[in-house]
Amino acid sequence: MSAFVVRFPDGSREFLYPERPLEVGDAVWHDGTRYHVIHVTEDAGRDVLTVTVEPEADSLGHMLGSEEGALVLSPVVD
């Protein structure tokens, strides 16, 4: 797989595939917001990974280290 689809609360976007597959519980960073992965499915027929995320809850720790430990997503360029 060279790309995967992430379903954000405000819509889906396609990204370049990271070095390792995303798993439930992973943290990702996109457009200034930290999200956590809540669901991952693979469509074997189309070889597409679909990842559903939701924003991390705001907390003091979140505000101090938003990117720490999170994968930064790279959008697919058309």
**Short-list 14, 10, 24, 30, CA closest to 70:** 30
Q: Nearest 5 degrees, angle CA 23-CA 29-CA 31?
A: 140
64: phi then psi, degrees, rounded to nearest 5:
-80, -30
Q: Is residue 21 part of a domain?
A: yes
Q: Is residue 77 part of a domain?
A: no
Residue-wise pLDDT tens digits, 32-78: 888 889 999 887 666 778 899 998 876 545 444 444 556 666 665 55
Domain that holds residue 32: 3-72
Q: Is residue 78 part of a domain?
A: no
Average pLDDT for 23-35: 85
- Overall domain count for the chain: 1
